[in-house]
Amino acid sequence: MSAFFANPDAMILLTGLLVALAAALPGCFLVLRGSALMTDAISHAIVFGIALTWLVTGQISGPVQIAGAAAAGLLTVLLIEALTRTRRLHNDAAMGLVFPTLFAAGVLIINLYAREIHLDTDTVLLGEIGFVWLDTLPVAGLEIPQAVVNLSVFAALNLAYVLLFWKPLKLAVFDPDFAALQGLRPGAVLGGLFALTSATAVAAFDAVGAILFVAFVIVPAATAYLLTHSLALMVALAAGIGMASAFTGQVAAVALDVSIGGMMALMTGVFFALALVAAPRQGVIATLARRRAERLDFACRTLMTHLLAHADGPRVTEENAVSALETHLRWKRPEVRRVVLHALDRGLARREGEMLVATELGGAMGRDVVASVAPLIPKRGQDGPAV
């Protein structure tokens, strides 16, 4: 076991996996609520909490520092919500006002009072996961990286919080008014979630930094949302995608000799791009196929209406001939072939020599189309449908 915790590669990977798990749990609810970028605001504003906590207590790490940074994150959320409720600022404008102000205040405190202290804003924001194995803590006789210990604690806390408040969290995200009527206090539940997110961001400083932590909160959750509409499955998928990003990111970073934390965050974007293209219901391929099917269905309805309109005419053999559709319906030849074959396959029409004849099913479709547009056609003496 001691050899495992002394292995730098294993500790880097374990830290990435823990960051992914800890971030995915609150991330799903933040993405669904439309508050995903609140994480970015928190990640910057907690610099103010870190600096202020050091100024008051003289501590740059430990539980007090985490609590101070979490309080700053919660303060950020409360200020943004308060400004939004005034209805004089939109949420995005309120966010753009609050977090740069708190971040700038934190930077000023560090520059004025902490120049001789190992407290650097670049370290806070960017982190370096490649060095987490150097800073260890003795736990049960083993030297375990501090980042692993901290992230293990917050991953467990986030999981416990989500499981304990599963129903209130769901209602707070999807129907906060109903949650309030049920006495579930959605504001307090979401406040606890934001506080845990802030504390988790502090714990992730040594690993991926606050900025890259945002990627682990938002991108895996957004990717999972493309793949499922089940909240429980979304949370599980987000955690799995985040962990897969951490693993593949480390492998790619070692192979390319680049930043490990940056590559892990980049891989979250790669998985999102794959889901965006190949998601079964909301992906680009599925959307294009669905739109193609809708266009083909509309074309079949148009064809059935045309066949029905000329079925009893004296020139039916000419009007309803396959060769005439290109001219009469102004379709190109490949489109005529595709629509005719689709109509034949669906049993909407049948061939009689060169002529198409609507079947009973196709005729019903054509009559439905005519009935649906009839109220929109102005009668003689009228200018148009009443509005």
pLDDT at 208: 72
pLDDT band at 24 (very low <50, low <70, confident <90, very high): very high
Q: Which residues contact 363 (CB under 8 A, 6 or more apart)?
A: 304, 308, 311
DSSP run (H or E) holding 180: helix 176-181
**Residues facing residue 142 across a β-bridge:** 139
d(CA 359, CA 109) in angstroms, rounded, equals 80
d(CA 163, CA 182) in angstroms, rounded, equals 19
pLDDT band at 130 (very low <50, low <70, confident <90, very high): confident
- Report the pLDDT averaged over residues 40-67: 78
Crossing angle for the helix pair 231-256 and 8-33, to the nearest 10 degrees: 140
- pLDDT digits 0-9 by tens, 279-323: 988 889 999 999 999 999 999 998 888 888 888 778 888 888 888
Percent of the chain topping pLDDT 70: 91
Burial of 325 (0-12, 13-18, 19+ CB in 10 A): buried
- Report the pLDDT averaged over residues 331-342: 89
Which domains does the chain show, CATH number per domain? 2-279 (1.10.3470.10), 286-373 (1.10.10.10)
Q: Which residues contact 264 (CB under 8 A, 6 or more apart)?
A: 16, 129, 208, 212, 216, 245, 246, 249, 250, 253
Burial of 11 (0-12, 13-18, 19+ CB in 10 A): buried
Q: Do β-strands 136-139 and 142-145 pair in parallel, antiparallel, or remain unpaired? A: antiparallel
pTM of the model: 0.79
Nearest one of 45, 298, 10, 320 to 148, comparing CA atoms: 10
Average the pLDDT over each of 11-25, 44-58, 123-137, 302-316 and give the range with the smallest value.
Answer: 123-137
- Report the pLDDT averaged over residues 263-268: 91
d(CA 88, CA 97) in angstroms, rounded, equals 13
Nearest one of 225, 44, 55, 32 to 121, comparing CA atoms: 44
Does residue 175 register a pLDDT over 80?
A: yes
